[in-house]
């Protein structure tokens, strides 16, 4: 039985889709079978980030409505043969997702894959609540700024009340993935510090992904950042996060905290 992970945030534009693709690829690199499911019906992006947009025939809504078989809708990644994508429909809206349909699809995916990663849409409405409903583990993607942190806090509240795990009295395992972290801005005090975010959200930290041009570059060529350049700083952060997801106890380093000799001299630009 595979593990179902929901990647969620409340706020849009914080890096849910980027993180879903990057973590999916990082987990699949180990030979484990991974499927990344796009729940953002009507505004799908995951196919672009994973470079599969030209191979989409059937989608999640087709499967839920019985118009296609699950195996017809799954798209295998060209670079990693254990990585699959289940795209969302761009022409429908989120009302086409039914609770029973989602349950059936997730149940079938759990049988066939080691990891089922659900890329949640922004917001707290139907799409987002259905994406989180069947999850075993939640990854809350947050940027170090106040509005993102407050929205994440709201999502954590929903994870603790509106999911099957919560309703059956179990505790949902939650992890914080801090993305778009900019060490220079953090040092200047323009951004919330890691400790402040952790204090507000009080869930364990899965990783800190630095703000980087590599992320944008990777999504423009249709590749998860962990496949585009695996030695780039964000890729390294995602690989480490994936290892922590597997249960490894790996300390999290805050980017920019250990600075080299030259960093001390040239770290700050004169005003």
**Binding residue (CB under 8 A) for another protein from 55, 69, 78, 154:** 154
Residue 14 assigned to a binding site: yes
110 alpha carbon, distance to own chain's centre: 18
If one asks whether residue 150 binds another protein (CB under 8 A), the answer comes out as: yes
List the interface residues with another protein, window 221-250 (CB under 8 A): none
Choosing from 12, 13, 107, 157, the residue that interacts with another protein (CB under 8 A) is 157
- Would you say 86 and 109 are in contact if contact means Cβ atoms under 8 Å apart? yes
From the list 67-75, 108-116, 195-203, 221-229, the region that binds another protein by CB under 8 A is 195-203
166 makes contact with another protein (CB under 8 A): no
CA 198, CA 175: separation in Å to the nearest integer? 11
Query: For another protein, which stretch binds (CB under 8 A), given 13-21, 69-77, 150-158, 245-253?
Result: 150-158
Consult the annotation and say whether 78 binds a ligand.
no
Closer residue to another protein, CB minimum distance, 153 or 230: 153
Q: Does 199 bind another protein (CB under 8 A)?
A: yes
Query: What are the φ and ψ backbone dihedral angles of 127, each rounded to 5 degrees?
Result: -60, -45
Residue 187 in contact with another protein, rule: CB under 8 A: no
| Residue 198: strand, helix, or coil | helix
Question: Which CA distances in Å does 77 have to 58, 106, 219, 231?
Answer: 15, 19, 15, 21
Task: State in angstroms the smallest separation of the CB of 89 from another protein.
Answer: 29
Nearer to another protein, 153 or 182 (CB): 153
17 is in an annotated binding site: yes
What's the min distance (Å) between Cβ of 147 and another protein?
10
Query: Cα–Cα–Cα angle for 125, 224, 122, nearest 5°?
Result: 10
User: How far apart are the C-alpha atoms of 268 and 216, rounded to whole Å?
Assistant: 25
77/151 with CB nearer another protein = 151
Count of C-beta atoms within a 10 Å radius of residue 218: 25
Task: By CB under 8 A, tell whether 160 contacts another protein.
Answer: yes
Cβ atoms of residues 216 and 207 within 8 Å = no
Residue 7 assigned as binding residue: no
CB of 141 to another protein, least distance (A): 16
The DSSP secondary-structure symbol of 89 reads P
Residue 190, C-beta contacts closer than 8 angstroms, at least 6 positions apart: none
Residue from 202, 246, 250, 263 touching another protein (CB under 8 A): that is: 202
126 contacts 97 by C-beta, under 8 angstroms: yes
Cα–Cα dist 178/180, whole Å:
7
Positions touching another protein (CB under 8 A) are: 146, 150-151, 153-154, 156-158, 160, 199-200, 202
From the annotation, which residues make up the binding site for ATP? 11-18
């Amino acid at each position: 039985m595979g593990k179902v992970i929901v990647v969620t945030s409340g706020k849009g534009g914080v890096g849910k889709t980027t993180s879903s693709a990057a973590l999916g690829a990082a987990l699949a690199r180990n030979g484990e079978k991974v499927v990344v499911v796009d729940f953002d019906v009507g505004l799908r992006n995951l196919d672009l980030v994973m470079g599969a947009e030209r191979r989409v025939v059937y989608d999640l809504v087709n499967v839920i409505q019985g118009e296609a078989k699950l195996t017809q809708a799954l798209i295998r990644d060209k670079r990693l043969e254990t990585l699959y994508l289940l795209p969302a429909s761009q022409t429908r809206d989120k009302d086409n997702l039914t609770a029973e349909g989602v349950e059936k699809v997730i149940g079938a995916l759990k049988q066939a894959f080691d990891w089922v990663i659900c890329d949640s849409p922004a917001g707290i409405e139907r799409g987002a609540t259905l994406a989180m409903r069947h999850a075993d583990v939640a990854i809350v993607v947050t940027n170090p700024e106040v509005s993102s942190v407050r929205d994440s806090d709201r999502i954590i509240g929903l994870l603790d009340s509106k999911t099957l795990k919560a309703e059956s009295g179990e505790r949902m395992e939650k992890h914080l993935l801090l993305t778009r972290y900019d060490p220079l801005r953090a040092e200047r005090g323009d951004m919330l510090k890691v400790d402040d975010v952790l204090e507000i959200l009080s869930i364990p930290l899965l990783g800190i992904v630095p703000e980087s041009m590599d992320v944008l570059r990777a999504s423009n060529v249709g590749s998860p950042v962990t496949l585009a350049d695996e030695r780039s700083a964000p890729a390294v952060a995602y690989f480490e996060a994936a290892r922590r997801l597997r249960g490894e106890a790996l300390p999290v380093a805050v980017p920019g905290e250990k600075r080299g000799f030259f960093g001390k001299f040239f770290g700050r630009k004169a005003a």
